[in-house]
Chain A
Amino acid sequence: MLAFMKSVLITFPGTNRERDMAMALERASGRPPKLVWHTETELPNADLIVIPGGFAYGDYLRAGAMASHTPAMRSVVDRASQGVAILGVCNGFQILTEIGLLPGALMRNAGLKFICRNLDIRVETTDCLFTADYTTDQCISIPVAHNDGNYFADNETLDRLEGEDRIAFRYVNTNGQTSGEANPNGSARSIAGILNQNRRVLGFMPHPENATDPALGGLDGCPLFDALTRALS
C-alpha cells in the first residue's frame, strides 16, 4: 500500500496561515495535515512538521518569542533531533530561530512597513529534501507577507551558512541578481531561507503555500511541496 506523507501543523493562538498551508499540503500529498494545538506535549507521528505563518501570541513580545516556549515546540525540538523534517514559514521561521533550531534572527523590515507582494527568489541549493525539485539558480516568484523578515546573523554565522551550502533561497531582481532593491526587508546577504546543519529543517520567509494554485496566479511553490511529498511518502 502506498504510504502517504503524514504532516502535522503546529498552531498557536494567533496563527493565521494554517488554512493556506493545509491546502498546499493536501494538494501535494492527497491528505490534509493534522493540526496540533500549542499545548500538546505529545506530537502525533509525522514525516513532516510545519510551523505556519501568523502572529503567534500577537507577536507582541518579539516575533516568535512566546511560541518558542510552548510544550508543542519543545516536542518539535525533540523530533528535529530525531531527524524529522521541519518547515517553518514566515512566523514559523521566526519561531525556529527563537528556539535555536536555526541560527540568526528576523528583525523588523528595513522599511519599517509590512510588505505583501510577489518577490523574485533564487534557489541557492537543491541539496535538501525541500528544494530537490528546483534547479540551482532557478528564479521563482513567491509572495511575501511580513513585518519582520529582515534576516540577521553575525558575519561568522553567515560565512558558515554559505560555506556549508545552507542558504536555500535568496531575494533577487528579475535578472536573477541580488541587489538592495530586490531585498526589500533588508536581509543580510539577501537571505530568504536557510537550512539547519543536517539539512532537514528549513526556515523560509516567503509563502510557497500561496503559490500553489493556478487560479490564484503562480505555481512556483508547488515543487517544494511535491519534493517533500515524494521524499517523505
Chain B
Amino acid sequence: MSRSNISITTDLITAHGLSKDEYQNILVILDRKPTLTELGIFSAMWSEHCSYKSSKKWLKTLPTEGPQVIQGPGENAGVVDIGDGQAVVFKIESHNHPSFIEPYQGAATGVGGILRDVFTMGARPVANLNALRFGDPDHPKTRHLVSGVVAGISGYGNCIGVPTVGGEVNFHSAYNGNILVNAMTVGLASADKIFYSAATGAGNPVIYVGAKTGRDGIHGATMASAEFSEDAEEKRPTVQVGDPFTEKLLLEACLELMAEDAIIAIQDMGAAGLTSSSVEMAGKGRLGMQLDLDQVPTREEAMTAYELMLSESQERMLMVLKPESEPKARAIFERWGLDFAVIGALTTTGRLVINKDDAVQADIPIDPMVDHSPEYDREWERTPDPQLLNRADLTPPDSLPDVLRRIIGSPDLASRRWIWEQYDHLIMNDTVVRPGGDAAVIRVRNTQKALAMTVDCTPRYCAAQPETGGAQAVAEAWRNLTATGARPLAFTNNMNFGNPERPHIMGQFAGCIAGMKAAAKTLDFPVVSGNVSLYNETEGEPILPTPVIGGVGLLGDHAKHTTIALKKPNEALVLVGVTTGWLGQSIYLREIEGREACAPPPVNLETEKANGNLVRALIENGMVSACHDLSDGGLAIAVAEMALASEGLGAHLNEQTDLPSYAYLFGEDQARYLVATSYSDAVLTRAKTAGVSARIVGHATNDGRLTLTNDDSIPLCVIRSAHEDWLPKYMQGS
C-alpha cells in the first residue's frame, strides 16, 4: 500500500463532506486508515448525489412496476416497452449547482450527462427536454443566468443533433441564489438490446473510451451535495467543460459497437467519474476490479491517482468487452478519433484495487462500501395545512381583459419562444408537435407510432401543501400527455429540495413523495428513473420544493394526435371537469392580488383518471379537433393559448352566473381540459355515460377577438403582444 505524505486530518475528512460516523465506518471497512485516494473514493460514493442517503427511504415507496416496464429505477435510465420489439429509454437529471456557478458549461454538461445515461443503455436519443427555474426577474443575476443556461443547452443539444422539443420555465425569488436546471433525454432502443452496467467474467478487460481525462470537475458530486455560500464563485474549477462534438462521436461509436455482439457491460462516467463507474460495474456484477491508472488517457500532466479517480471530465465511458471483440471495438473507436485504452480487468476478489506509479493507491472491498453506504432516516416534520382562501377577502378586478393581459404576459406564463427558437427542435425529422403545446410529439421512425413527452411541476403548490403538490405534478404530466391523445406510460422524476438535515425540508420531501406515490398508483403511471438534488439552499434560504415530473406517453398512430390550436370557427368549446373557481395559490392571486397564499387546488385522482380517459377516447375517435389541459391561469389562459396557437381564430366564452367571473376564468381547479369539437352532443353524451362533468362553455370564432363575458372582449393581437413580448424584452434588458 502506498502511503501518501498527506495525513488524514479531521479537517480533511470534513472537507470531503464525511461525518465522524461515516469516517469511523471507513476505518471498520478497511481495517486501517484510508489513503487520500481512498478517502476521495469513499467521499464521492457516500455523497448525497451518489448514495441517495437521505432520500432512499422515501424513494423506495414509489410505484415502479407495470406490465410496460422493462427496467425501473437503479440503472442509467428507465426502459419501457412500446410494442413491436421497441423500447423507450428515458431519464431526467439535475445540474443545478454547476449551472449557477457557470451557466453555459453547467447547463451544457447537464445535457451531455443525461444524453450519455440514455445512450449507455443502447438507445439512440431522439429528444431532449428541460425544466428550468430561475430567480426573480428583477434579481441582478437572473438575466445572465437565463441567457447562459439557454445558450448552454442550445449549444450542446444542437451540435450533437438531438432535438430539444419541450420544457418549462418558472421565475421565483426562492431560486435567486440557487437556480434549477433539470435535463431530460428520451431515446429509442430495441427491447432485446438493452445494455446494463453489471459486469461479468473475471479476467475480462476493462476499457476506457471517449475523451481524455483532465482535472475538471474534481469533487463535483461532493459540491452537488452541499449548500451554497457566498464563495460559490470560488467553486468554478469544479464545473466540468462540455464538448458536444466529442459526445456526438462517442454516441455514434457506442451505437455502432452496440450493434455488434461485443459489449458485456457499459457505464458512463458521470458524477464521480471513474470512481462511480468502476464501483457500479464491479459491484453490480459482484466482482472485483483492478485498474492501472497509468493507462488512463490524460490531457494534463502529472495527475495523481486521487485526481484521476475523481475527475468529472466529460464524454467518457467505461466498458467491459468480450475479450475477442477488443480489436473490432478498438477499430471503431479509432475511426471516430476517440481514445480507447485497456485500463484494467475484472477480478474475483470483490475489491477495487487502484494501481499507479508501481504502487497500490487504493484497495477497497466493494460490497461493504456499497452495502454500508450511509442511509439516513432523517427527522421530518409535516408541513402545516394551509388555510383555505376566503373569496370574500378578494377585490373583484375592474377589467377582466386587463387581468388576462397581465397574467398571460407575466414571467411564468409569457411565451417561451425566445428560448425554444434557440433549440434545434426539428432535427431528426420526426417532430410532429413542436414546442409550445401541452406535450411534444415525436414520431417513432419507420412506424405509425409516436411518443408524447412533457416536464411538469408547480412548486408553489408543493410549498403550500407538499402532498397535493406532489400529486398535482404527476397528474399534470399525465394530463399533458393525455391532451395530445397519448396513453401515458411512465415517468422519471427530479426531486429538487433544500437541506434534508432540516426537518421541515424533509417534511416537504416526504409529503411530495406521498402525493406522487398516490398519483402514480391511481393513474397506473409508474416511475422508472430519477434523480435527487438536495441542499438547494443559499445562505440558509431554501428553494421551493420542486419535484419535476418528466412524463412519456405513446400514440399508436401519430396521425391521431391533437394539438392545442383551434382549427375551425363555430366549433363548440367543451370544458371537461368541474370548475369551482379555486384561487388559492393561483397565478391570479399572485399576479393580481400580490399574494402567494392559502391552499392549492385539491387533486382528486379518481376524477383525473376518469376525465383523462374520456378525453383520450374522444381524441382517438376523432371527435375533438383541439385539446388543452387547464393549469396555471385556468380557463381564460387555456382558451387564449388555444386561440393564439391557431391561424387567426378567436374564441367566445358564454355568460355564466354560477361564480364570480374572475374566479370562473382564472381559478385553477384540477382535472380539467378544454376541447374544441364539431360533435358537441356526442361529446356530452359520452361524458355523461362516463360519469364525467362536461359542458359547453363557448365556441371558436373568426373575429380575431377573445370574448370572456358579454361585456369583456379583447383583440387577440393585444393578448399576443403581451404574451410574446415579455421574454425578449426582458432579455434585452428593457
Contact = CB atoms under 8 A, between A and B. Distances in A.
Interface in A1-46: 13-14, 16-17, 19-20, 23-24
Given A20-B428, A216-B431, 18 more contacts: A13-B336, A14-B245, A16-B159, A16-B160, A19-B428, A20-B427, A20-B429, A55-B248, A113-B154, A113-B422, A115-B422, A116-B422, A147-B158, A210-B426, A210-B429, A215-B443, A215-B559, A216-B426
A217 B151 CA distance: 27
Interface in A103-138: 113-117
Interface of B: 151, 154-155, 158-161, 243-246, 248-249, 336-337, 420-432, 434, 443, 558-559
Contacts of A215: 432, 443, 558-559
B166 to A, nearest CB: 14
A180 interface: no
A-B complex: 6 closest residue pairs judged by Cβ atoms:
A16-B161, A58-B245, A20-B429, A145-B424, A55-B159, A114-B422
Nearest to B448: A215
Given A113-B422, A114-B154, A216 B430 contact: yes
A226 interface: no
B161 A117 contact: no
19 contacts: A13-B336, A16-B160, A16-B248, A23-B429, A24-B429, A55-B159, A55-B245, A55-B248, A57-B245, A58-B245, A114-B154, A114-B155, A114-B424, A116-B420, A117-B421, A215-B443, A215-B558, A216-B426, A217-B434
Contacts of B158: 55, 114, 116, 145, 147
Contacts of B244: 55, 58
Contacts of A207: 426
Nearest to B164: A116
A20 B243 CA distance: 23
Counting chain A CB atoms within 10 Å of each CB, the highest count among B151, B155, B161, B337 belongs to B161
Contact of B423 (A55, A116, A143, A209): A116
B376 to A, nearest CB: 43
A119 to B, nearest CB: 11
Nearest to A16: B161
Interface in A49-105: 54-55, 57-60
A188 B614 CA distance: 54
B566 to A, nearest CB: 16
A95 B434 CA distance: 29
Interface of A: 13-14, 16-17, 19-20, 23-24, 54-55, 57-60, 113-117, 143, 145, 147, 207, 209-210, 213, 215-217
A24 B429 CA distance: 9
Contacts of B443: 215-216
A217 B559 CA distance: 12
Contacts of B160: 16
B432 A115 contact: no
A59 B155 CA distance: 11
B248 to A, nearest CB: 6
A211 to B, nearest CB: 9
Given A16-B248, A17-B161, A116 B425 contact: yes
Contacts of B559: 215
Nearest to A117: B421
Contacts of A115: 421-422
B421 A116 contact: yes
B514 to A, nearest CB: 40
B161 A216 contact: no
A178 B558 CA distance: 36
A6 to B, nearest CB: 22
A96 B35 CA distance: 57
A13 B249 contact: yes
Contacts of B248: 13-14, 16, 55
A54 B161 contact: yes
A209 B421 contact: no
A206 B612 CA distance: 39
A116 B249 contact: no
B245 A13 contact: yes
Given A14-B245, A14-B248, A58-B245, A116 B161 contact: no
A112 to B, nearest CB: 9
A145 B159 CA distance: 11
A17 B424 CA distance: 11
A82 to B, nearest CB: 29
Contacts of A213: 429
Contacts of A57: 245
A145 B432 contact: no
Contact of A116 (B246, B336, B424, B428): B424
B427 A145 contact: yes
B432 A216 contact: yes
Given A57-B245, A114-B158, A116-B421, A13 B428 contact: no
Nearest to B246: A58
A23 B428 CA distance: 10
A65 B501 CA distance: 53
Contacts of B420: 116
